[in-house]
Amino acid sequence: MAVDSNYLAQKILQGFHCHYDRFQRLTKGARSRFLKRQWQQVIEASAERISYYDRQVKETSASIQRAVGQQFEEQLWLATRQRYRSLLKFHPQAELAETFYNSVFCRAFERRYFHNDFIFVETMLESHIPVSVQSQYHSYFPVKGGLPKILSQLFLDIGLNGEFENFENDLEQLRDAFLQRSQETEIEPHDIRIDVLSSPFFRNKAAYIVGRIVTEQYHYPFIVPVLVNSHGKLYVDAFITNSNRMATIFGFARSYFMVQTEAPSALVRFLKDLMPHKTLAELYASIGFHKQGKTEFYRDFLHHLRRTDDQLAAAAGVKGMVMTVFTLPSFPYVFKVIKDTLGSTKTFSRQTVIDRYRMVKRHDRVGRMADTLEFADVAIPLDRIAADLLDELQATVGGSIQVEDKTLVIKQLFVERRMTPLNLFLEYASDEEVDAAMDDYGRAIKEMIAANIFPGDMLLKNFGVTRHKRIVFYDYDEVRYLTDMNFRALPPIDQYSDVDVSSAPDDVFPQQLGQFAVPQPRYREKLLKHHPELIDPKYWQRTQKHIREGSLTDVFPYAEQLRFTRRF
């Protein structure tokens, strides 16, 4: 059967609609899972939603290949791209549909066709009619009815549809926090408008109401976390108004939110107003559109290469045994390629490394594991690669790269946000900074294991320090599920005995954590001062038991002192 450009464009768009509809159905269920405290289903739904995209791309690509056969007809695909572009003029998810088209095309055809004639390397949405940002939120005016009435109406409109533990108490605390913020910023309730996004943001064991306070001169962002107690009753936990604190809640080391929207671009534009330092890539990823996040990241990278002239160079820090890592000094990310030959102490395969990075992608990262973008067939101009880095790449990852004319093609590439390696940070830190960092390092380990993640290699060099001085793990080649490990105590050893301790591959001796992960006495002393239980096998065993019983530990993405403490 002969196919034309309209058939192909409609077929790909139909595939996108199937993906988006399934994505939204799973997202819609977040409200019910939260209200019913179905925490295990929360974990499963988050992992499942991430895999939807690739399954639909694979299915649509296979359908396209069956329709067109083996021969690539340039004129047909030039026309198909143009027709597809025209179909997106009034599409509410146009930018996502562009990315889906790219994914289908790149799966079906050879890399030599991956340029802007056939795919959307650059977006073609200049003629697209954008959905209004106003469609995403409701506005409230305290001058009409007063602040308490407005806050009460806000909760009715957001539609959590659950019974509150003590709604009057929650409103009182919200009102007090709001008035305190008003005094700090010298604004009065009658001089403001309150904009609130229509749908709550669900993640883990919380629902977040997101909005802004609008005055004549400024916008003040806010988040109101709503939790559910052990009796199934709702309560307001905090009122957060700082843009940097909000950015942390939407951080790159956290799991993706579930939030319903028919117009992601409008929602992202609203969030960008609240958190101007966040990139579009970060914001799209934060609300679950991680493939669109990849698209926005890659476009940013290409634009950055055109605007700058610095060269890619080896990343700072101790070189690892699994990845060759490099960075562009003017661009805040690191690029990681799996080595052809892993270090002698690494007993796993290349595929195991890939599987573990993807495992973290699907898992709850609890604010302690950096999100990773995985790319295939990435082309980088050779003149942007420092000579010594090119030599290192050819020596360590030669099987994953190929030189084509003036371009280096990397077959598989992982990208993460650049951080200062913890071991380097500690070398120049003050005593107070060392103490705080080692405390947070211990907290990071505790929060990861509470989420059923055993980091494996807990050396300081595998953790980074963010600009907010938060400790985040970023090396996943030895990551395992905590429940797969066997935590054992070392037998007592006195000065006259010589005990040989036998161990199986999954055995772990927490008493050795301080010695092997933190061999420096000064740092180890700080760690154990704050977290002595980390070297107690029973602590790890109790955490395993907690997980196996189906419990999901509370890990709050905001400081304890911000939480409301005046309970009724």
Domain boundaries, the chain: 5-129, 134-300, 308-418, 422-493+500-548
* Catalytic residue list contains 371: yes
The domain over range 308-418 is classified in CATH as 1.20.58: no
The domain over range 422-493+500-548 is classified in CATH as 3.30.70: no
In tens, the pLDDT along 307-321 reads 999 999 999 888 888
Q: 501 Cβ partners below 8 Å, 6+ apart?
A: 490, 491, 509
Residue 451, SS3? coil
Known binding site for ATP: residues?
A: 315-321, 336
Is the pLDDT at 568 greater than 60? The verdict is no
Residue 502: per-residue pLDDT: 61
**Angle value at C-alpha 209, between 205 and 214, nearest 5 degrees:** 155
Supply the pTM of this predicted model. Answer: 0.92
In tens, the pLDDT along 527-552 reads 999 999 999 999 999 999 999 988 77
**C-alpha 470 chain-centroid distance:** 15
- pLDDT band of residue 298 (cuts 50, 70, 90) is very high
Give the C-alpha separation, 119 to 87, whole Å: 15
Q: How far is CA 273 from CA 163, 195, 268, in A?
A: 32, 12, 9
Give the C-alpha separation, 450 to 541, whole Å: 11
Closest to 92 (Cα-Cα) out of 135, 54, 28, 55: 135
Take residue 20 and report the two structure tokens written for it: 């988006």
Take residue 298 and report the two structure tokens written for it: 């890659």
Give the C-alpha separation, 294 to 57, whole Å: 15
Number of H helices, E strands in the chain: 18, 19
Is the pLDDT at 468 greater than 60? The verdict is yes
Is the pLDDT at 446 greater than 60? The verdict is yes
* Range with lowest mean pLDDT among 3-7, 255-259, 323-327: 3-7
Is the pLDDT at 210 greater than 60? The verdict is yes
Give the C-alpha separation, 99 to 85, whole Å: 12
Give the β-pairing of 201-203 and 471-473: unpaired
What percentage of the chain exceeds 90 in pLDDT? 63
Is the pLDDT at 65 greater than 60? The verdict is yes
Give the C-alpha separation, 119 to 112, whole Å: 11
Over residues 237-250, mean pLDDT = 89
In tens, the pLDDT along 387-401 reads 999 999 999 999 999
Number of other CB atoms surrounding residue 75 within 10 Å: 8
Active-site residue, selected from the candidate residues 170, 195, 364, 371? 371
Is the pLDDT at 285 greater than 50? The verdict is yes
